[in-house]
Amino acid sequence: MSSEDTERAERLLEALDPDQRSVAQFVSGPMAVLAGAGTGKTRAITYRIAYGVARGVYEPTNVLAVTFTKRAAVEMRERLTALGVPGVQARTFHSAALRQLQYFWPSAIGGSMPPLIEHKASLISAAAARIGIRADKALVRDLAAEVEWSKVSMLDADAYAEAVRANRRTPPGDLSVDDVLALMDAYQEAKEDRGVLDFEDVLVLTAGILQDYPAIAQRIHRQYRSFVVDEYQDVSALQHHVLNLWLGGRHDICVVGDVAQTIYSFAGASPRYLQDFAQEHKGARVVQLVRDYRSTPQIVSAANTLMKGEHSSVLKGAVKLVSQRDDGVPVDYQSYADDNDEALGIARQIRKLHDNGVSYSSIAILYRTNGQSENFEAQLSEAGVPFLVHSGMRFFEREEVRRAMFLLKKQAATLHNQGIDQVDVVHLVEDLLGIAGWSPQAPQAQGAVRERWDNLNAIVEMARSSTNDSFICFVNNLVEREVSQAAPTTEGVTLSTLHAAKGLEWEHVFLAGVSEGLIPISLAQGENAIEEEKRLLYVGMTRARDHLAISYSRSRHGGGNRQRSRFMKDLWPREERSQVGASSARAGTSKRSAAKAAHAEFEESNSPEVVELFERLRAWRKAEAEARLVPAYAVLTDKTLRDVAIAQPKTLTQLRVIRGIGEVKIDYFGSQILAIIRGEEVQVETEPA
């Protein structure tokens, strides 16, 4: 190794912080990087590869970097090229496996590899019909997800039945386990009849070839000698199996992940492979990245507080973030009367931000389910705010974008055939996209019209910002983005589910609908599912760089009784806190202040009907206390009355669930409380007990 190479390698390390540097310098043997959100994990691992190449430890073509999205793979290749390492393979698990499967299929199996199906719906429908199950679109979608989960979890029939029981997993559509197993068999037969493979088959068959053909496995081992795996907390059993076959008993592997961002357990992902990495690979070095360069201290503090108190099994491998940013503005917490009011309030705040110079593309509204976007779309349109729905149709699949790409590709081919390349890229792009519907001025209309213009304008802006004066190169860049689904930035507020937002970031994030039933979602059953919902909220919070606003609405359409999420207990302002054990006048004052704050919060967070019921319960309690010659709290506390007013139990069994009401008070007061809830008049006994 020359002195110049040594000097170049050391210069690479100068761009890293101490923790990132410890990742980059360790270029041989097993390593696990526990990297929190915004800590520069991609930077650390790309510099590690570049440093290893500069030191002569790696040949670029012998390194395989595995990512979970095409977008991440493109980003990693671009970063490595910028660092002078263009030959590294950066691919998704499926892309890498598919490449190998296509190459070795003729020699291992013979003939041509069957085509891949993009969607399972038609085959699932055919399989369901074959065994006599009537399946609508929703059930077909759920059955497809169940098939995928079973395959990536590597479950045979017996293992599937046991996993359903162990995970308290409910088969789709109220079907029995036997029904689902029969559907899976019928689905496999339908694939064979049509001569096609599905997405999961790529990994299954690659694993089979590597196991059954040692000579092929040896060729893979010679080709790839070092591995880097990003988002390792999201690895499934099947992906982990394929990875071990690629390794072939070797341990030259670096994995990166964050167990606090495990949000795909429902799809077969498991953080245990990251948590147990050091046991699986003896002598592994474990490095933590905790310096958060993305978010302000206020946002980081809120995210850390959210995750505090999780069980040790969940916390294993999680890191506590330390913000490297200057102080910012406090996290904003807001409740609204109903969903429409929440959407209106957020739309107004966004318009105000934009009026103060903030670009729409730096703002996002995040929510739990796709169905929540409707209100936001309506209110943003009414306010004249452009937006794009991130979890909707992919950018390059939209009709206007497809037409634009057709025109651009056709023109690039014409120029190539004529031997012409040096043209005015911007003007040519503008002219061509004008045919597709673009105009120099944004349309006044909102909604779909504005969204189509924004999509086309994103391509125009790419041309304007391009440093390459070659039209053909510009189009080739677009084609590469199209293949990897790396959409350009559009000038509009992003609307996205929390799941779809993972891996992205914005300056301003509005986390909407943070209420019980949505976060955690009502479908989440059991401790593990609830904890995953908390991690999902954590992912949403850590998308924000400068400003985070968290909100919920007290009802869907008004008059409801929706409560804010339990996850907000330690975060929401003026949260009622216990004063048990306090004494002295000071403690008494604190108690009174807490009581006032609790009541103010109660009135703010609940409908007038709930508050009115509480007042009726309190009037009844006062009469009972006076009749019995006891303090009011000896009958029932304010907190218990508030819980009753919110829950509005209809039976004594339901009433027993409320904290503060035991069997004695059920006997004395149960029937009266239920009568008050029903709106009936209640007579209080005048004789003290």
The predicted structure's pLDDT at residue 267: 83
Burial of 576 (0-12, 13-18, 19+ CB in 10 A): middle
Q: Which of 480, 490, 461 is nearest to 405 (CA)?
A: 480
Going from the C-alpha of 108 to that of each of 94, 102, 112, 320, 601, the distances in angstroms are: 19, 10, 11, 48, 68
The predicted structure's pLDDT at residue 558: 65
> Which stretches of the chain drop beneath a pLDDT of 50?
310-314, 392, 575-591, 687-689
The predicted structure's pLDDT at residue 313: 39
Residues 389 and 373 sit within 8 Å (Cβ to Cβ):
yes
Q: What is the pLDDT of residues 144-167, one digit of tens each?
A: 989 999 999 999 888 888 888 877
d(CA 540, CA 511): 7
In the structure encoding, which two tokens stand for residue 498, read together?
A: 């929390």
Residues 6 or more apart whose Cβ sits within 8 Å of residue 194: 123
d(CA 235, CA 387): 33
User: CA dihedral in degrees (199, 200, 203, 204; nearest 10)?
Assistant: -130
d(CA 673, CA 658): 12
For the chain, the C-alpha Rg in angstroms (whole number) is 30
SS (H, E, C) 365-434: EEECCHHHHHHHHHHHHHCCCCEEECCCCCHHHCHHHHHHHHHHHHHHHHHHHHCCCECCHHHHHHHHHH
Q: What is the pLDDT of residues 425-448, one digit of tens each?
A: 888 888 888 888 888 887 765 556
Residues 6 or more apart whose Cβ sits within 8 Å of residue 596: none
Tell me how far the alpha carbon of residue 267 is from its chain's centroid.
13
Run of H or E including 255: strand 253-257
Which amino acid, one-letter code, is at 545? R
d(CA 182, CA 162): 16
The predicted structure's pLDDT at residue 585: 39
In the structure encoding, which two tokens stand for residue 382, read together?
A: 């009414």
Residues 548 and 333 sit within 8 Å (Cβ to Cβ):
no
The predicted structure's pLDDT at residue 469: 67
- Please report which residue ranges of 109-136 form alpha helices under DSSP H: 121-130
Q: Is 650 helix (H, G, I), strand (E, B) or coil?
A: coil
The predicted structure's pLDDT at residue 172: 84
Residues 6 or more apart whose Cβ sits within 8 Å of residue 11: none
Burial 282-294 (b: 16+ CB within 10 A, else e): eebeebbbebbeb
Angle at 343 between CA 340 and CA 345, to 5 degrees: 105
Residues 298 and 331 sit within 8 Å (Cβ to Cβ):
yes
Residues 6 or more apart whose Cβ sits within 8 Å of residue 300: 292, 321, 322, 323
The predicted structure's pLDDT at residue 497: 92
Q: Is 507 helix (H, G, I), strand (E, B) or coil?
A: strand
In the structure encoding, which two tokens stand for residue 332, read together?
A: 């904003």
